[in-house]
A = this chain, B = another copy of it.
């Protein structure tokens, strides 16, 4: 069976949207990636760090989803990473209110022995030096390494980021980040420049406008499902990435045609994630619901036209 190793934050989030607000709830990139990828019945494990304030019930919930949490270091006298943000009315933009790194400030990731031969590796959004450290701890080169990052690391640690980008097969970033990283406004040109930095596959996430998958001259587009109500976009990009790599890991097939399916599954899972606050929807999601939504994606995008 495929093994997927995920590195990323496990955190507390406090979220405010036009529809309400939460107290500190479970969040973090690795959490969303794990909950999404685990839908595909693979072995996955998380490498992360939390404080003594992190509830054991959260770890148990992850374990119940077949997510190995032995790589989540618990710093007894430390506090868990905390992020708080407020979304604007259109839900496309948000202000960060609080970022308390806490235990994340001194995070030295340690990959558990039973995951050093994982064939799939997902580097969630974190300091590029942490991402690089995890790559270096792998005993065998994974079949596929995917990396997510954000503008913060482009602003502050560009040199280290460029080095780790060089080592990965897939990069997933949003449209603004792709423009910043490449210096190109056109996403077609941006993807080409990012290919030159290393990744053979470039996934550009456009939020409610879907996602583009580039592999040199090949390009595929997965729309976001038009929803009546987007409740909380937090974690949608990570859920997308988790669905993408979870599907690839479960099928052990990294052809371009299979990657097309993987971005459809990524969009599929992200469309659930935004329906409730935090991780709530992802914690309560059935295979049947995913299959039904896959049918909706087909109806949304598939057409028949004869070429003449």
With a CB–CB cut-off of 8 A, which chain B residues contact A226?
A: 187-188, 212, 219, 221
With a CB–CB cut-off of 8 A, which chain B residues contact A301?
A: 220-221, 301-303
A57 CB within 8 Å of chain B: no
Evaluate contact between B303 and A260: CB separation under 8 angstroms.
yes
Q: A186-B227, A209-B206, A223-B210 are in contact. Are A291 and B303 (CB under 8 A)?
A: no
With a CB–CB cut-off of 8 A, which chain B residues contact A303?
A: 220, 257, 260-261, 264, 301-302
* Complex alpha-carbon distance, A226 and B206, angstroms: 13
With a CB–CB cut-off of 8 A, which chain B residues contact A187?
A: 226
Q: Which of A147-191 contact B (CB under 8 A)?
A: 185-189
A254 CB within 8 Å of chain B: no
With a CB–CB cut-off of 8 A, which chain B residues contact A294?
A: 305, 307
Q: Which of A290-308 contact B (CB under 8 A)?
A: 291, 294-295, 298-305, 307-308
The one of B223, B261, B291 in contact with A221, judged by C-beta atoms closer than 8 angstroms, is: B223
A106 CB within 8 Å of chain B: no
A229 CB within 8 Å of chain B: yes
A228 CB within 8 Å of chain B: yes
A90 CB within 8 Å of chain B: yes
With a CB–CB cut-off of 8 A, which chain B residues contact A206?
A: 209
Evaluate contact between B230 and A186: CB separation under 8 angstroms.
yes
For the side of the interface on A, what is the size category? 35 or more
A218 CB within 8 Å of chain B: yes
Q: Which of A218-266 contact B (CB under 8 A)?
A: 218-221, 223, 226-230, 257, 260-261, 264
* Complex alpha-carbon distance, A91 and B273, angstroms: 32
The one of B209, B219, B223, B308 in contact with A291, judged by C-beta atoms closer than 8 angstroms, is: B308
Evaluate contact between B219 and A305: CB separation under 8 angstroms.
no
Closest CB of chain B to A229's CB: distance in Å?
6
Closest CB of chain B to A124's CB: distance in Å?
25
With a CB–CB cut-off of 8 A, which chain B residues contact A257?
A: 303-304
Interface residues of A (CB under 8 A from B): 89-90, 185-189, 206, 209-210, 212, 218-221, 223, 226-230, 257, 260-261, 264, 291, 294-295, 298-305, 307-308
Which 8 pairs, one residue from A and one from B, show the smallest C-beta to C-beta distance?
A: A209-B209, A260-B303, A188-B228, A221-B223, A188-B226, A261-B305, A221-B300, A301-B301
Apart from A219-B299, A260-B303, A301-B301, 6 more pairs, CB < 8 Å: A186-B229, A188-B227, A212-B226, A219-B300, A220-B300, A220-B303
14 sampled A-B residue pairs with Cβ under 8 A: A90-B185, A186-B229, A188-B228, A189-B228, A206-B209, A212-B226, A219-B299, A219-B300, A220-B299, A220-B301, A221-B226, A261-B303, A261-B304, A291-B307
